[in-house]
Amino acid sequence: MIIELLVTSKAKKDITPAEISDILETSYKFNTENDITGCLLYHNGEFIHLLEGEQKKVQELYSKVVFDNRHTDVSKLIQNPIEKRYFSSWTMAFNEIPAINSANIKGYISINDFNNLTCSMNRSSTARNMFLYLTQTIITVKGKEI
Ligand SMILES: Cc1cc2nc3c(=O)[nH]c(=O)nc-3n(C[C@H](O)[C@H](O)[C@H](O)COP(=O)(O)O)c2cc1C
């Protein structure tokens, strides 16, 4: 059974660009190998994470992610079976971080590309709807000038 899982968390206060790139590199490799699709948005110290994949694989991944000390306040908001995935691959978006050479990071998309990817997103699932709401809220309300 394929499920979608929506998770939010706060980055630890002193998170470094190296730690953020490590999260992206590890996630891209593991998620691609395990047929896990979705998107992780990092913005102003907050993570919003939407995962799609085989139930067992997604739950096993979540049980590792929840104990990762690079973030706190991890909340599993929605876990639902879905008939069809929305994302065709694994992606991660964040504003340019000067210390990270995003061009070398597979799966990285800019906030502009993230907006393009999500603006036409089909909202027929609860998790996708909530993902869009939360991501747009932190990008436009709390966000600094993009
Ligand atoms: C916000 C956040 C999201 C993460 N998302 C993923 C992910 O989607 N896939 C993944 O493999 N690791 C992800 N990680 C990293 C995992 O927590 C963990 O470091 C990784 O699975 C390697 O664990 P292992 O060394 O025990 O195998 C994430 C970490 C954080 C802080």
For the segment 26-81, what is each residue's pLDDT rounded down to a tens digit? 999 999 999 999 999 998 899 999 999 999 999 999 999 999 999 999 999 999 99
Q: Do 108 and 24 contact (CB within 8 A), yes or no? A: yes
User: Which atom of ligand 1 lies at the shortest distance from residue 65's CA?
Assistant: 17
Range of the domain at 54: 2-142
Pocket test for ligand 1, best of 16, 46, 65 (most atoms within 8 A of CB): 65
For the segment 107-138, what is each residue's pLDDT rounded down to a tens digit? 888 888 888 888 888 778 999 999 999 998 88
- Write the residue with the smallest CA distance to atom 8 of ligand 1: 27
Please tell me the distance from the alpha carbon of residue 46 to that of residue 16, in angstroms, as a whole number.
13
Strands 46-54 and 90-94: unpaired
User: Phi/psi at 35 (nearest 5 deg)?
Assistant: 55, 40
Cα dist. 145→23, 37, 47, 138 in Å? Answer: 25, 29, 18, 12
How many domains does the chain contain in total?
1
Domain of residue 117, CATH code = 3.30.70.100
Q: Do 88 and 37 contact (CB within 8 A), yes or no? A: yes
